[in-house]
Chain A
Amino acid sequence: MNWKRSGIAVATLIPVIGLFAWGLTRDPNNIPSPLPGRAAPAFALSVFAPGQGELHRPVGDTMRLADLKGKVVVVNFWASWCLACRDEHALLSMLAQEYVGKPVQFMGVLYNDVPDKGRAWIAEMGGQSYPSVDDPGARVAIDYGLYGVPETFFLDVNGRVAYKHTGPVTPDVVHQKLDSLIAAGALQSALEVSKPGAAATDVKPAEGR
């Protein structure tokens, strides 16, 4: 009888322990965003930091998502008070220059910060190659379901969210996502040229994932 009882006890405990063990391997802060795969929330935000060289956009210019159709867009939310943003800043700035000439738009979105502080931070960090826009009231941040900074969204050529990265980006992540999204965009436009009409449906499975 005791064998039976301990058998029952073990049979009950093992799944419970297994469940807890599995729970320990998961990061409770890692909450999946519902956005990837959906149309990116539209925005029209004003440039406060112009960027450099070929990526220059005059201060006060309005950057609209609608104007960026046909380009892969990297939207990086950052703030001058954000420590992790320092870790990725040089990398993003360099990568934006690396992709000059390709259909890619890097942009920074200032999150809960004032443009003056943002500009001072950029100067302190040695410049930012791509333009940054201000997001008063964090409207666009909330529209993108932002938890904190830095968070980076990769939008495909059709203006859909392809991928969301939480925390500082790494070169591998950016290269991999950008290259596949650019390739998908190129494939799509090639198909559109060869047989318009059918292209949109044909390309879907190949897109960015």
Chain B
Amino acid sequence: MTGTRGFRGAARAVVVALSLAGATALAQAPDLPAAPKGAPQDSGALRVQVQGTLTDAQKNDPKLEDETKAVATELRCPVCQGLSIQDSPSELSQQMRTVVKEQLASGKSQREVKDYFISKYGEWILLEPQPHGFNLFIYALPAALVLGGAGLIVLLVRRWTTAGATSSTGPDDNE
């Protein structure tokens, strides 16, 4: 697991560098006008976020910032490879971070904000799969392999040592 994490870190650094280069090369950052947009008007359908709901106090609130960061590091950037929206400089990630912050500011819990993104993008949007159902297999597999490997080593070492002790002439493989 640690090996993968190290690799992931390196890959992440490369991706960040590449996407930064890409972002500057494209210079594709239009200033989006804060257009007056209608509040939710529909009945059964899902809600539309109201544009620019953050007050100045909320924008500078360190607690809200921390919570946003906590959620954003768990959400996958849809246009990157293996980056969270917290780490990604892409425009969509920035916009998604804004949505996270606004929803948190509106009183939603971290869980509810994550559920919102899951309802839009599927569980894929979470960088770490949730530990339920078939996903448990992924969590259990490394432990099972380590335990199985340790058991195998113990078994083999025991067999070799006893084989060596009883007959010094025939070294191994008397299966």
Interface residues of A (CB under 8 A from B): 1, 31-35, 39-46, 62, 64-66, 81, 112-114, 117, 134, 136-148, 159
Contact = CB atoms under 8 A, between A and B. Distances in A.
Contact of B48 (A32, A44, A112, A146): A44
Given A138-B95, A143-B120, A147-B78, A64 B51 contact: no
B104 interface: no
Interface string B36-57: 0110111111111101000000
A145 B120 contact: yes
Given A39-B46, A134-B35, A142-B95, A112 B30 contact: yes
B175 A143 contact: no
7 contacts: A42-B41, A44-B41, A81-B28, A139-B48, A142-B92, A143-B120, A159-B45
Contacts of A141: 92
Interface in B88-105: 91-92, 95-96, 98-99
Contacts of A62: 38
B79 interface: yes
Contact of B99 (A65, A142, A159): A142
B141 interface: no
A42 B46 contact: yes
- Which residue among A46, A81, A113, A136 has the maximum number of chain B CB atoms within 10 Å of its CB? A136
Contact of B175 (A1, A39, A144, A146): A1
Contact of A136 (B33, B46, B122, B124): B33
Nearest to B48: A42
Contacts of A43: 48
A1 B175 CA distance: 8
Nearest to B29: A112
A164 to B, nearest CB: 11
Given A66-B42, A136-B37, A159-B45, A142 B32 contact: no
B121 interface: yes
Contacts of B32: 112, 114, 136-137
